Amino acid sequence: MPLVTSEQMILNAQKGGYAVGAFNVENMEMVMAVIAAAEELNAPVMMQTTPSTVKYAGLDMYYANALAAAKNCKVPVAIHLDHGSSFELAMQALRVGYTSIMIDGSHHVFEENIEMTKRVVDACAPSGIPVEAELGKVGGKEDDLDGGSGGYTDPLEAKEFVERTKISALAVAIGTAHGVYSGTPKLDLERLSEIRKLVSIPLVLHGASGLTDEAVRESILRGICKVNFATELRIAYTEGVKKVLTENPNTIDPKKYGAAGMESVKKLVMGRIKVCGCDQKAH
C-alpha cells in the first residue's frame, strides 16, 4: 500500500492501549528488515531518519527506499523525520514526501521551542502531515544529537505547549537517553502519568534502546503511544555483518553480509514490535 501518515496509526494505538514501534533505518537492508518484521507480525510501523542519517544519503534516497518497500507491503507504513533540527530541514522533508515530521526545539527555551514548533505545524497542516515535538530534553548522545544530562518534562508546561502549538504527538523526557546506557536507567513513571492526565494527544518515548521490556510496557500502560528504537538496530546490523566477516574473512559480496545484518535487525524488530503490543494491529 502507499505510505500513510503516522497520525491515525498512533491514534489507533492510543485507543487500543498499545504503542507503534518507530525504527531508525540507515540503509536499504534495514528498511527491508523493518518491513519484513512488520509484515510477518501484521503490525503498523514507522521508519525514521535523523538529520545525520539524512546527511549521509539525502532525504530523496531514504524516501525512495521507504516508498518502494511500502508499495509492496500489506501493513501501514510511515516515513518519519526524527529530531528535525531546523524549520528548513522539516520543509525539505515535507516537500520530498515524508509522511510524518518531528521538529526538535527542546534545546531552546520554552517560548522559542513553541515558536519554532508552531511554525512547522502551520506549514505542514495544509498537507495533512502530523508533527511531533519534544519538551524537556532526552539526554545522551547519538550522532550529532547531544542531549547532555537531559532535563525532565514539566507536566504543566506540556499542557501549555500542546495547546499553543497544536502538535499531533509529544515526545517527553522522563529519564531515558539516546545512545547506549552506561547504567540502568531510572524512569520517572509518575511524571509520565501526570503528563498523561493533562495532555490528551499521543505521547512518545525516545531513547528506548536498552530499556527492559518491563519498562517499555509500563510506559505504554501510562500513556506512551509511540516508542523509538535506534541504537540497538545499529548494533544488531553490525553484529550480523561482523559474524559473516569473522567466519568468512574472504567474503567480498556485500549481499552476503548485508543479508546477515538484515536478518539480525528483523529478529530484533520483531521482538520490539511484540513488546510494544502492536503485533496483529495493522488496520
Annotated binding residue 105: no
Q: Is 83 annotated as a binding residue?
A: yes
Using the Cα atoms of residue 260, residue 262, residue 268 and residue 270 in order, give the sign of their dihedral.
negative
Angle at 219 between CA 168 and CA 9, to 5 degrees: 35
Q: Give, as one character, the DSSP assignment of residue 154.
A: P
State whether the Cα torsion 155-157-160-163 is positive or negative.
negative
Query: Is 87 annotated among the ligand-binding residues?
Result: no
The three cell numbers of residue 249 are 574473512
Was 206 annotated as part of a binding site? yes
Are the beta carbons of 131 and 167 closer than 8 angstroms? yes
* Side-chain-side CA neighbours of residue 9 (13 Å): 31
Active site annotation includes 188:
no
Kindly state the cell numbers that stand for 129: 502531515
Nearby residues of 45 by Cβ (< 8 Å), 6 or more positions away:
20, 21, 22, 23, 34, 35, 37, 38, 75, 76, 77, 78, 273, 278
Q: Strands 145-146 and 139-142: what pairing?
A: antiparallel
The H-assigned helical ranges of the chain are 6-16, 28-41, 51-57, 59-71, 87-96, 110-124, 155-165, 189-198, 213-221, 231-247, 254-276
The answer to whether 104 is a known ligand-binding residue is yes
279 is annotated as contributing to ligand binding: no
CA pair distance 241, 145, nearest whole angstrom: 26
Establish whether 60 is an annotated binding residue.
Answer: no
161 assigned ligand-binding residue: no
Q: Helix (H, G, I), strand (E, B), or coil: what is residue 145? A: strand
Catalytic one of 82, 144, 154, 188: 82
The answer to whether the annotation marks 230 as part of a ligand binding site is yes
> Does 228 belong to an annotated binding site?
yes
> Measured in whole angstroms, how far is the alpha carbon of residue 179 from the centre of its chain?
13
Q: Give the containing element (helix H, strand E) for 181.
A: none
Confirm whether residue 208 is marked as ligand binding: yes
Catalytic residues: 82
Question: Which residues define the annotated binding site?
Answer: 83, 104, 134, 178-179, 206-209, 228-231
Question: Which residues define the annotated binding site for Zn(2+)?
Answer: 83, 104, 134, 178, 206
Question: Which residues define the annotated binding site for dihydroxyacetone phosphate?
Answer: 179, 207-209, 228-231
